[in-house]
Amino acid sequence: MANSTNPGAAIRPWQILEQRLLVDRSPYAKVYDEDVQLPNGEKIANFLRVELPPYVMAFALLKDNTVAMVRQYRLGLRDTMLELPAGHLEAGEDSLIGAQRELLEETGIAGSDWQPLGKYMMDANRECGWAHLFLVRGAEQVTPPNAGDLGDVSVEFLSVDEVHRAWANGELVIGPTALCIGLALDALRCQS
């Protein structure tokens, strides 16, 4: 339990004194340098904030009880990673519509039984994009994948037990994928 000298006291926001746009790679990212002042008067110069677009991710459980995963090269990690299908929302796009679109594009899979798992910020200090996570049950392959992404993407199908093992063993290291899998596995456990 957190130790507090004044439990229940309101937490005061930081004041932004100055904001400078350092990099604008719209619509993919904006990087800001901000000077801020804490409630106690202390000033912090050059606090970085990274504005990334919101995105969606889907844990797609197929009728044969397998989960659709994608394997692709991730430049930031300098490695090929196994993760859940995901992608950015288009401007003004509803998160469910975006999740359905991204799942279809990356895997060729569609489903009608969609459950929202929540909306999560990936880095509360830097921003770094809202993740809208979904579970879809009874999904099925309806078309060949057409991700249109940079580089190669392969679709792999793992049993729920294989996904659970990889997740529990820390083999799926991308945070949003790990979060979505944990939420989906919990939802499936609670509903069985």
What is the per-residue pLDDT for 20?
97
What is the per-residue pLDDT for 79?
81
Whether 106 shows a pLDDT value over 70: the answer reads yes
Whether 2 shows a pLDDT value over 60: the answer reads no
37 and 111 belong to one structural domain:
no
In which domain, by residue range, is 30 found? Answer: 15-51
24 and 107 belong to one structural domain:
no
- Residue at 10 is within a domain: no
pLDDT in tens, 49-102: 998 899 999 999 999 999 999 998 887 888 889 999 999 999 899 999 999 999
72 and 46 belong to one structural domain:
no
85 and 127 belong to one structural domain:
yes
* Chain centroid, CA 142 distance in Å: 24
Domain count, the chain: 2
Rg (CA), the chain: 19
State the DSSP H helix or E strand holding residue 166, giving kind and residue range, or none if neither. helix 160-168
Whether 1 shows a pLDDT value over 50: the answer reads no
| pTM of the complete model | 0.86
Cα dist from 71 to 118, 119, 158, whole Å: 24, 24, 12
pLDDT band for position 159 (50/70/90)? very high
